[in-house]
Amino acid sequence: MTRSLNRSSATGALLALPLLVFLIAAVAWPLASLAGHALSGPGWGAVRQVLAAGRYRTALVNSLGLSAAAAFCSVLLAVGPAWILARERFPGRDALRTAISLPLTFSGVLVGFLMVVLMGRIGVIPEILGVLTGRRIFEGAAYTVAGLFVAYLYFELPRAVMTLESAFRRFPRELDLAARTLGAGPLQRLLRVGLPLAAPALRSTLAVTFSASMGSFGVALILSRRFTVAPLEVYTEMTGYLNDEVAGALALMLAFSTMAVDRLLSMGKR
């Protein structure tokens, strides 16, 4: 027994080795180098610069706000479709699931261009509405904050649906049936059975969509006019000014704030 346990843990270590090497090479080392750059100035000057009132802090606050809004709305909108995909059987379900997951394969830049094609100055939507109503509604909407938000929803919604669906599939149906047998009404069943069961899944879906939005770069690169987000500022500091210190500090703050929110969301999960 002991021998086989030893062997299996040795196999486990061997199997974990590639992941370990990967984590060191692709996470720990770059993060350390980033921290090195960020903290290299006298008195952590770059970090202070980022946290002082101004463009960098605005970018961080914008990123947090936009990502939180996109995560919240995408989860809210995803609950229904995810429940149906997980629980109902109907023709074309697999095709629908594939269609919903399609946007996940698009890069941010592509989503940005899609928005321009739909709601740019000569976007499809203003063209059609112009013919129908005589007013070119949504002309140039792609370049507004609302346009940016819609683009974020576009790639976060499928992520939310997919994540929630797999959670909903694992729900034991018996609990719901038992509650019904014991005389609980629909609202009571939702509040006392459905929601407590779904809470961890909702929280982790919020975390997944929030993190993805925080790191998203391409959409804002194409669409943002004035409104800025943190990854965009990191890019500009690097390429426009060769400012490793501020770029590093900003990236570090971005990573920490994302991890902090994720941690908060996963608290009390068990």
225 near other proteins, judged by CB under 8 A: yes
Residue 65 within binding range of other proteins, rule CB under 8 A = no
The correct pick among 26, 31, 52, 55 for binding other proteins (CB under 8 A) is 55
**Residue 137 found at the interface with other proteins (CB under 8 A):** no
Six-digit token string for 51: 């946290």
Nearer to other proteins, 60 or 265 (CB): 60
Cβ-based burial of 70 (10 A; exposed 0-12, middle 13-18, buried ≥19): buried
Per CB under 8 A, the list member of 82, 116, 150, 164 interacting with other proteins is 116
Tokens 């109907």, residue located? 90
- Dihedral in degrees, nearest 10, Cα atoms 255, 261, 263, 268: 180
Contact string (CB under 8 A) for other proteins, positions 74-113, x = contact: -----------------------------------x----
Q: Which stretch binds other proteins (CB under 8 A): 18-26, 150-158, 202-210, 227-235?
A: 227-235
C-alpha to C-alpha distance for 263 and 257, rounded to whole angstroms: 10
Phi, psi of 181 (to 5 degrees): -60, -35
Of 165 and 233, which has the nearer Cβ to other proteins?
Answer: 233
Q: What angle do CA 236, 43, 56 make, to 5 degrees?
A: 25
Scan residues 182-201 and list those touching other proteins (CB under 8 A). Answer: none
Name, in order, each residue with C-beta under 8 angstroms of 101's C-beta and a sequence gap of 6 or more.
158, 161, 162
d(CA 95, CA 154) in angstroms, rounded, equals 18
Contacts of 205 (CB under 8 A, 6+ apart): 75, 78, 160, 163, 164, 167
Which of 163, 209, 213, 236 forms a contact with other proteins (CB under 8 A)? 236
Instruction: Please state the closest distance from residue 98 (CB atom) to other proteins, in A.
Output: 29
Residue 220 to residue 168: CA distance in whole angstroms: 32
Under the criterion CB under 8 A, does residue 51 sit at the interface with other proteins?
no
| Least distance from other proteins to the Cβ atom of residue 126, Å | 12
Which window, 58-66, 150-158, 171-179, 248-256, contacts other proteins (CB under 8 A)?
Answer: 58-66
CB 51 within 8 A of CB 57: yes
Question: In whole angstroms, how close is the CB of 223 to other proteins at the nearest point?
Answer: 8
The window from 72-80, 95-103, 200-208, 224-232 that contacts other proteins (CB under 8 A) reads 224-232
Among 104, 221, 257, 266, interactor with other proteins by CB under 8 A? 221
49 touches 58 (CB < 8 A) = no
Phi, psi of 197 (to 5 degrees): -70, -40
- Minimum Å gap between C-beta 193 and other proteins is 44
Residue 135 as a binder of other proteins (CB under 8 A): the answer is no
Tokens (6 digits) for 236: 């500009």
Q: Which residues bind other proteins (CB under 8 A)?
A: 54-55, 58-59, 62, 109, 116, 120-122, 139-140, 143, 221-222, 225-228, 233, 236, 238-242
